Amino acid sequence: MARIVMKFGGTSMAGIERILSVAGRVKREAAAGNEVLVVVSAMAGETDRLVQLCREAAALHDAREYDVVVASGEQVTAGLLAMTLQNMGVPARSFMGWQLVRASGVHGNARVEAVEGALLDEALRGGTVAVIPGFQGVSDDGRLATLGRGGSDTSAVAIAAGLSADRCDIYTDVDGVYTTDPRIVPRARKLDAITFEEMLELAGVGAKVLQTRSVGLAMRANLPLRVLSAFEDGPGTRIVAELSGAEMEHNRIAGIAADRNEARVTLTAIADQPGTVAAVISPLAEAGILVDMIVHAATPDRGSSDLTFTVPRASLAQAMAVIEQRRAAIAYADLIHDDAVAKVSIVGVGIRSNPALAAKMFETLAERSINLLAVSSSEIKVSALIAEAELDLAVRVLHSAFGLDAEQAA
Amino acid sequence: MARIVMKFGGTSMAGIERILSVAGRVKREAAAGNEVLVVVSAMAGETDRLVQLCREAAALHDAREYDVVVASGEQVTAGLLAMTLQNMGVPARSFMGWQLVRASGVHGNARVEAVEGALLDEALRGGTVAVIPGFQGVSDDGRLATLGRGGSDTSAVAIAAGLSADRCDIYTDVDGVYTTDPRIVPRARKLDAITFEEMLELAGVGAKVLQTRSVGLAMRANLPLRVLSAFEDGPGTRIVAELSGAEMEHNRIAGIAADRNEARVTLTAIADQPGTVAAVISPLAEAGILVDMIVHAATPDRGSSDLTFTVPRASLAQAMAVIEQRRAAIAYADLIHDDAVAKVSIVGVGIRSNPALAAKMFETLAERSINLLAVSSSEIKVSALIAEAELDLAVRVLHSAFGLDAEQAA
């Protein structure tokens, strides 16, 4: 017997027939003797509809009232799933976010602070399936608070962690985590297992299977996740702290990430002196602009060099304005920007111990004459900024080179 | 300065444009220096949609889960109205039913037990308009509870009573209470004022402007109500404990009620002895059948007589079965039923003091050869059961005879 959290996304909850199918999956887990908590999203399209109503009501609206409106979508599906389960002979009841999930931070984008476990514990021990609307809780001011888009994943993980669940299964419309975007590489392969860190890097750079915040939360709680299909049976992909010996090869790359949401900014001939980089980056951070790749290497004895960084495309105009306002203070020669760029990354825990992997990446791209506009690397990821027109080719050749294509797999 | 509750029905909340118009009305009352609480229904059609989802999920569903699902409709409109008001420069915030309305009784048809006034008092005194979803509260078990269909009127009145409001204005899609159903009598006249008792009798017998429960609640709290149009300006109809001298004439009839939802049952030749009527009526009450008109008069020295009563048409088959099961115990000769009957009533506080009004009713019907199948009367109402085919004619001739036609009015 295990205690498990099952989370179902909007596509799985879109209509009574699909809710019936979800109830069937829940019943199977409960019938196997597990204690089951289910976290549900709103029906697909419903949250968008509610957000649109808020926009029409007031272009700039109070986040607390927004929360009241949009939180209703998950409330509906939670009630419907609970009654569907009861109708199938499975003891079940819904709990509202305001009854058990304490949230903090700003309305519309709150964080889960704590989960009132006693109420749930009692239900679970009595053999009742607990159904909980995702994406919401109650804030310090006693009002409804939502967790931001995609927050149902975070709810599920927070509830699983708070209730000491053995695992959290995220049911979605894909059957697992892939080595790369199958729209770019049709031979992309489903992974049996991936580490939290790898998943964070893949999610952060484009693989949108799980909300990043939920993965970080699971990693801190050391809570095993599974991503699996709500529509087909299958083992899905396990997301774990460490891979087993068999899964972990020396040269393992988990996947290739692709991100088109990049724009490059270069300041030429800035002084090589302490504080110059900070003088550029700090005002951007203050303006709320997410600076991603930062590339700067001073050339010895030349006295000045270039600084390149990337920002999300939607922030490019604002970033340029922030820099131009500080032209005198920063003292650069030219300010150059380019939004026809993209980022390709190899992600894998193997990178940590094997420098040959980064070298292989650069060689592979060079063979196809793909120019590197910038490079950055972390413990488990190497990223290259390239022309956007070359992104698909880059992803495909790297996917093959690292042995990830489906046919090449064991 | 007054403290007022404004209640808006589903038609008034159906879409952002109408919510904008509602916000305009609320702003006017707030700008006039009033403390304003607004109680809202779900968008027209939304509650039906949610009820339908519940039916599809499970034919027999848990009322607590039903409450979770259907309560969401008013939550959405409350949030939208609050943000619309804010956008118009009116300080406003929504409060949820679970934050302030304690309900008791069965889920799906709960009663308002108490309203937590402190939270609202503070907001109102600070000049904030409080927007509250109608039709819902929190039950003793700490879960969402709804008040039954039409419960938003009851919410509004309960909140007005609990917060010692000076009055409660019910905005709806008609501009007031009429002397009778305008579909039957085009010359039906809008009343300026009506007493709670008259309104209860009119509502109970067919005039469906206000939920009956809300009128009873207002009467007990001696809280003046107003029914008025959400779409046009106008004084509407005041519903009050007592009419002023000018409004109150000796022979005043407030209106003519018509009710087609009647079926007649007659038991012939039952014994004239104590307990016979109870032996018929009690089992019907136990079966949850609402018995309306009961007509029984023993003929002296004959030893037996007939008993006639009416039930809602939908309950006729069940009522017949209940009586037939007890044929031996009751000992009647024949059991006769007729569902082509209807009830016409005159309603007015004048009836109490003027027996000539009932006489005038019978004479008017006799002049048109309308046969009386049964008659019953209370302090402020006289009802006649007639053939359904004659109902429209009966309403029209009574409406004219009692001087209620629009042209005949002062």
Residues of B in contact with A58 (CB under 8 A): 83-84, 86-87
Query: Is the pLDDT score of A246 beyond 80?
Result: no
B75 contacts A69? CB cut-off 8 A: yes
Residue range B328-356, pLDDT digits in tens: 999 999 999 999 999 999 999 888 888 88
Least confident span in A56-60, A404-408, B367-371: A404-408
The amino acid sitting at A128 is T
Query: Is the pLDDT score of A409 beyond 60?
Result: no
Domains B3-173 and B256-408 share a fold: no
Alpha-carbon gap, residue A191 to A400, rounded angstroms: 15
> Alpha-carbon torsion A12, A18, A19, A22, what sign?
negative
Q: Extract the runs of DSSP E, i.e. beta strands, from B230-373.
A: 237-240, 255-271, 294-296, 304-311, 335-347
HSE (CB half, 13 Å, CA atoms) of A19? 30
| CATH code given to domain A3-173 | 3.40.1160.10
Alpha helices in A233-355 (DSSP H): 276-286, 316-325, 327-330
CB contact, 8 Å: A65 with chain B?
yes
The amino acid sitting at A99 is Q
Q: pLDDT tier at B250 (50, 70, 90 boundaries)? A: low
Task: Select from A20, A69, A75 the Cβ nearest to the Cβ of B68.
Answer: A75
pLDDT at A93: 97
Alpha-carbon gap, residue A361 to B95, rounded angstroms: 57
Query: Is the pLDDT score of A282 beyond 50?
Result: yes
pLDDT at B339: 94
Residues of A in contact with B146 (CB under 8 A): none
Task: Select from B57, B80, B93 the Cβ nearest to the Cβ of A84.
Answer: B57
A50 contacts B65? CB cut-off 8 A: no
Alpha-carbon gap, residue B265 to B323, rounded angstroms: 10
pLDDT at A81: 98
CB contact, 8 Å: A128 with chain B?
no
CB contact, 8 Å: B83 with chain A?
yes
pLDDT at A207: 57
Alpha-carbon gap, residue A368 to A390, rounded angstroms: 10
Q: Is A51 exposed, middle or buried (0-12, 13-18, 19+ CB in 10 A)?
A: middle
pLDDT at A327: 93
Mean pLDDT, chain B, rounded, equals: 91
- Could you tell me which chain A residue has the CA closest to the CA of B72? A72
Q: For residue A131, list its beta bridge partners.
A: A38, A94
Query: Is the pLDDT score of B283 beyond 60?
Result: yes
B79 contacts A68? CB cut-off 8 A: yes
Alpha-carbon gap, residue B104 to A52, rounded angstroms: 35
Residues of B in contact with A64 (CB under 8 A): 93-94
Residue extents of the structural domains in chain A:
3-173, 256-408
Report DSSP state, residue B274: T
Task: Select from B61, B78, B144 the Cβ nearest to the Cβ of A68.
Answer: B78
Least confident span in A244-258, B9-23, B190-204, B389-403: A244-258
Buried/exposed A199-234: b ≥16 CB within 10 Å, e otherwise: bbbbbbbbbebbbbbbbbbbbebebbbbbbebeeee
CB contact, 8 Å: B82 with chain A?
yes
pLDDT at B249: 64
What distance in Å separates residue B80's CA from the closest CA in chain A?
6
At residue B232, φ and ψ (nearest 5 deg) are -125, 150
Distances (CA, A) of B180 to A403, B163, B399: 83, 33, 8
Distances (CA, A) of A298 to A271, A307, A323, B232: 9, 9, 20, 74
What distance in Å separates residue B100's CA from the closest CA in chain A?
11
Closest Cα partner for A177 from A241, A256, A261, A262?
A256
- The rounded radius of gyration (Å) of the Cα atoms in chain A is 24
**Top-confidence residue, B23 or B60:** B23
Expressed in percent and rounded to 5, the helix, strand and coil fractions of chain B are 40, 25, 35
What distance in Å separates residue A37's CA from the closest CA in chain B?
16
Residues of A in contact with B19 (CB under 8 A): 57
A53 contacts B93? CB cut-off 8 A: no
Count Cβ–Cβ pairs < 8 Å, chain A vs chain B: 125
Task: Select from A16, A75, A83 the Cβ nearest to the Cβ of B62.
Answer: A83
What distance in Å separates residue B399's CA from the closest CA in chain A?
45
Q: pLDDT tier at B241 (50, 70, 90 boundaries)? A: very high
Least confident span in A343-357, B3-17, B46-60, B308-322: A343-357
Closest Cα partner for A334 from A374, A314, A310, A304?
A304
A69 contacts B76? CB cut-off 8 A: yes
With a CB cutoff of 8 Å and minimum separation 6, the contacts of A361 are: A346, A382, A384, A398, A401
Query: Is the pLDDT score of B207 beyond 70?
Result: no
Task: Select from B53, B68, B76 the Cβ nearest to the Cβ of A78.
Answer: B68
Q: Is B403 exposed, middle or buried (0-12, 13-18, 19+ CB in 10 A)?
A: middle
Q: For residue B266, list its beta bridge partners.
A: B308, B336
Query: Is the pLDDT score of B199 beyond 70?
Result: yes
Give the other-Cβ count within 10 Å of A45's Cβ: 12
Place of tokens 């109500």: B225
Q: pLDDT tier at A251 (50, 70, 90 boundaries)? A: low
pLDDT at A309: 93
pLDDT at A410: 44
**Top-confidence residue, A320 or A202:** A320
With a CB cutoff of 8 Å and minimum separation 6, the contacts of B359 are: none
A71 contacts B83? CB cut-off 8 A: no
Query: Is the pLDDT score of A261 beyond 50?
Result: yes
CA angle B178, B180, B184 (to 5 degrees): 125
pLDDT at B295: 84
Alpha-carbon gap, residue A79 to A16, rounded angstroms: 12
The amino acid sitting at A237 is T
pLDDT at A391: 96
Query: Is the pLDDT score of A324 beyond 90?
Result: yes
Query: Is the pLDDT score of B42 beyond 90?
Result: yes
Rounded to an integer, the average pLDDT of A175-199 is 91
Query: Is the pLDDT score of B235 beyond 50?
Result: yes
Indicate the length of chain B as a whole number: 410
CATH class label, A256-408: alpha beta
- Could you tell me which chain B residue has the CA closest to the CA of A43? B53
Q: pLDDT tier at B148 (50, 70, 90 boundaries)? A: confident
Query: Is the pLDDT score of A354 beyond 90?
Result: no
Rounded to an integer, the average pLDDT of B178-203 is 90
